[in-house]
Structure 1
Amino acid sequence: MQIFKFGGASVKDADGIKNLAKVLETTGYDNTLVVISAMGKTTNKMEMVIECYFDNKPELPNAIHDVIKYHDDILLDLFETNRHQVFVAVKILFDELNAFFKSNKSPDYNYVYDQIIGYGELISTTIVSHYLNEIGLNNNWIDVREFIKTDNYYRHSNVNWEATQSNISSHLDTSVLNITQGFLGSDANNFTTTLGREGSDYTAAIFAYCLNANSVTIWKDVPGVLNADPRYFENAQLIHQISYREAIELAFYGASVIHPKTLQPLQRKEIPLYVKSFLNAKGAGTCVSKGETLDPEIPCFIVKKNQTLISLSSLDFSYIMEDNISDIFSLLHLYKMKVHVIQNSAISFSVCIENLYDNLEKLLQHLKAKFKVTCHNNVNLYTIRHYNEIVVNELEKDKTVLLKQLAQGTVQIVTK
């Protein structure tokens, strides 16, 4: 088996879907499972739908219509008549979405988020599957929620590996081309769950692990894994080979090209991961596998925007010891903060976090009961792997450095 994953940029319009078909024809699609994300910026549009549902119900119909029109335009570009059965299939999905809004009684934002957000993937795969069948690439559309089972930690669910392995081994026909959704799963009650943003890569790795696949290929709009995000850094270079360990380090620090949870199941079975460009299907791309740590050996830059830096000091100038640090981490866990950097001295403690669940004000109020608190919002966290003094000095130029931490092979800098 080979597992392909196509992200939203690869299927953002009709031309992208046609190109996906060309990639399959170029590479071959025997014994292949294809994981596909929502089209273009659909996930962002669906998040706007969710926002309207909770905070601005009069605008909800318009937000849904925006999503419908976007997909209708793609359908009309792909199919010669609007009487094609794909139009009915897509309409059924939008009808399901509207029915959920009318019947839902839960006020739980995270539960509602997961029930709504996945329609982007369900619709995109429905369209792609019908188009491939239309041009003679016969395939089987499968609902990933019937295969990947998780707990009910909505928006960041954990995989039930035993149930997932059993489902995939027992019910997936590997003799045909399969098309399925990334990002999604379902819990024990069959409610939709999600694996976290960018979780489609993880979906591909889950299937690869359970199928003992030969390889996973992530098709992107870049030639492979670059040493820096070209949106923020000039002269980004292609990395040809990365070891699992190095890739996991990069993912841990936030490299966006590979989802942090994707690599562990692949490493356990030594399944190579390729990152290639869907604009150049024959390009070598990047291989993540056993072997050389990094080729070429160059600094790798990672930036995380819109972070929050909290600095704490004791109110009575007493030491911040194990009991204080334990209390701090209990609160960070309670309010579901994603921690990226910590730094402490005798009487101070600093932490750079990501406020994923919008609980920052609650956290700060809790901390102020015991500590003097300084908070910097909208800071940027830069991480450089395999750094040298020249690249660090260049990065710090014209920036206010709020925190800097050096470790073997890695420097992290928080700037305003």
Structure 2
Amino acid sequence: MQVFKFGGASIKDVTGVKNLVAVLNKTGYKDTLVVVSAMGKTTNALELVVKNYFDRSNQLQSSIQDVFKFHNAILLDLFDNEKHEVFKKVSTLFNDLKVFLDRNKSPDYNFVYDQVIGFGELVSTTIISEYLNEVNIKNHFLDVREFIKTDDYYRSAKVDWEETQKRITTNFNRTQLNITQGFLGSDSNNFTTTLGREGSDYTAAIFAYCLNAQSVTIWKDVPGILNADPRYFENAQLLHRISYREAIELAFYGASVIHPKTLQPLQRKEITLFVKSFLNPEGKGTKVCKEAGLDPQIPCFIVKKNQVLISLSSLDFSYIVEENISEIFKLLHLYKMKVDVIQNSAISFSVCVDNMYQNLDSLLQHLKAKFKVTCTEDVSLYTIRHYTETAKTQMERDKKILLKQLTQETMQLVTK
């Protein structure tokens, strides 16, 4: 059994969809599950729909229509006959989206977000499944929400592994090519949930774990896992092989190629992960496996933008002790802040966080009741794994450094 995952960049247009077919024909698709993301920038476009629903209702219908037009243009290029059933299926999905927005009573942004965003994956898999059938690659469309069950922590749901395993074991047919959505699940009330941004990789790993798959391949627009994001760093190099441990470290620090939660289930069953280019499917790409080490052994550079640095000190110059730190972390958890860096001294405590849920103001108000608080928004967090003196000097050049932390293998800088 093998699991393929195709991200939004790989199916962003007609050429991408046809290239997916070419990849399947070159690699073979016997005993295969294909996990698909939303097409191109659809998730961003649907985020605008959610924003308009809450803040600019006069622009809501036009933003939905923009998403529909994007997909309809792809349909018109893929299918000669406008009476093909796929046009009706896609129109029905967009109608379902409108019905939800008309009837929804919940003021919960995160709940609405998940119900709306999920249509991106549902539309993309509908189009691709129908096109595969059109070119005689027979496949079975699966609604992932019937297989992956989660709690109701919308936008970052936790998987109910026992129920998910039971459903996949009972209902998944291994004898055919299956296609399903990444990123999505459903809660106990069958409302759509999402697994966090880039969660399609995680979806592939969940199925691989439950199916005891031999491998997972993530098809991307890069040759494999690079030692740096070429959008921010020059001369990025391909990593040929990475251990699970090293890949988990890189993911934790924010490497964008692999979702942080993807690797744990693969590691538990020693399922090999390949990251390959969909433009060169026969290339070796990067292999993530049990084997130790990093090949080649070079520094790896990571940057996370739009972070928030919060620095706390006691109002009376008393020590910041375990009790204080425990209280601080309870508040960070309460306001759903993802912690990326921690640094503390006798009378101060600094933390770099990701304000994904826009709860910063409420958190700061709570903290100011007991601490002197300094907050710097829109900072960048740079991380170097396996840093060298040359890499360290290069990273520090021409930057205003607000926080610096070094361990034996990792250097981190918060800069403005």
Q: Secondary structure at the match of 2:266?
A: helix
**Match status 1:291 vs 2:284:** no
SS across alignment from 2:378: strand
Distance in 2 between residues matched to 1:330 and 1:209, nearest whole Å: 32
Q: CA deviation at 1:368?
A: 1.1
Q: Match for residue 243 of structure 1?
A: 243
Count of equivalent residues: 416
Are positions 1:33 and 2:33 aligned together?
yes
**How do 1:246-285 and structure 2 match up within 5 A?**
246-285=246-285
Poorly superposed stretches of 4+, deviation over 4 Å? none
Q: Which residue of 2 aligns with 1:48?
A: 48
Superposed displacement of residue 81, structure 1: 2.0
For 2:195, the equivalent position in structure 1 comes to: 195
For residues 71 and 390 of structure 1, the distance between their equivalents in structure 2, rounded to whole angstroms, comes to 47
Tell me the residue number matched to 1:164: 164
Deviations 1:48-107 (A, max 9, x none): 000000111110001000100000111111111211110001001001001101111111
SS at match of 2:351: strand
State whether structure 2 residue 332 is matched by structure 1 residue 335: no
Distance in 2, matches of 1:179 and 1:251, equals: 26
Partner SS, residue 118 of structure 1: helix
**Counterpart of 1:95?**
95
Q: Name the Cα RMSD after superposition.
A: 0.6
Distance in 1, Cα, partners of 2:292 & 2:284: 16
Letter in 1 for 2:409: G
Q: How do 1:3-402 and structure 2 match up within 5 A?
A: 3-402=3-402
CA distance in 2 between counterparts of 1:316 and 1:151 reads 42
Letter in 1 for 2:353: I
Long gaps (5+) in structure 2 = none
**Separation in structure 1 between the aligned mates of residue 389 and residue 313 of structure 2, nearest angstrom:** 31
SS at match of 1:405: strand
Cα distance in 2, alignment partners of residues 299 and 209 from structure 1 = 31
Percent identity between matched residues is 71
Q: What does the per-residue CA deviation read over 1:315-344, in whole Å, with 9 as the maximum and x for residues that have no partner?
A: 111111111111111111111100000100
Deviations 1:90-149 (A, max 9, x none): 001001001101111111111111111000000000000000100011100110000001
CA distance in 1: counterparts of 2:120 and 2:97, whole angstroms = 11
CA separation in 1, counterparts of 2:408 and 2:267? 23
Matching residue's letter, 1:165: Q
Give, in whole Å, the separation in 2 of the partners of 1:373 and 1:159.
Answer: 36
2-structure distance, mates of 1:10, 1:74 = 14
Match of 1:70, as an amino acid?
F
Q: Deviations over 1:233-285 (max 9, x none)?
A: 00000000000000011111111100000000000000000000000000000
Which whole-Å CA distance do the structure 2 matches of 1:412 and 1:2 have between them?
Answer: 37
Distance apart, 1:162 and its partner CA: 0.9
Report the TM-score when normalising by structure 1. Answer: 0.99
Q: Per-residue deviation at 1:381?
A: 0.2
1:217-245 deviation per Cα after TM superposition (whole angstroms, max 9, x unaligned): 00000000000000000000000000000
Deviation at 1:348, TM superposition (A): 0.7
**Pairwise CA distance, 1:292:** 2.9
User: Helix, strand or coil: the match of 2:179?
Assistant: strand
Indicate the larger mover: 225-234 or 106-115: 106-115
- Counterpart amino acid of residue 145 in structure 1: R
Q: Which amino acid aligns with 2:352?
A: C
* Post-superposition offset of 1:372: 1.1
Question: Which runs of no fewer than 5 residues in structure 1 stay unpaired?
Answer: none
Query: Hey, what's the Cα distance between the residues in 1 that align with 2:366 and 2:160?
Result: 34
Give the residue type in structure 1 aligned to 2:230: P
TM (norm. structure 2) is 0.99
SS in 2 for 1:231: coil
Displacement, 1:371? 1.1
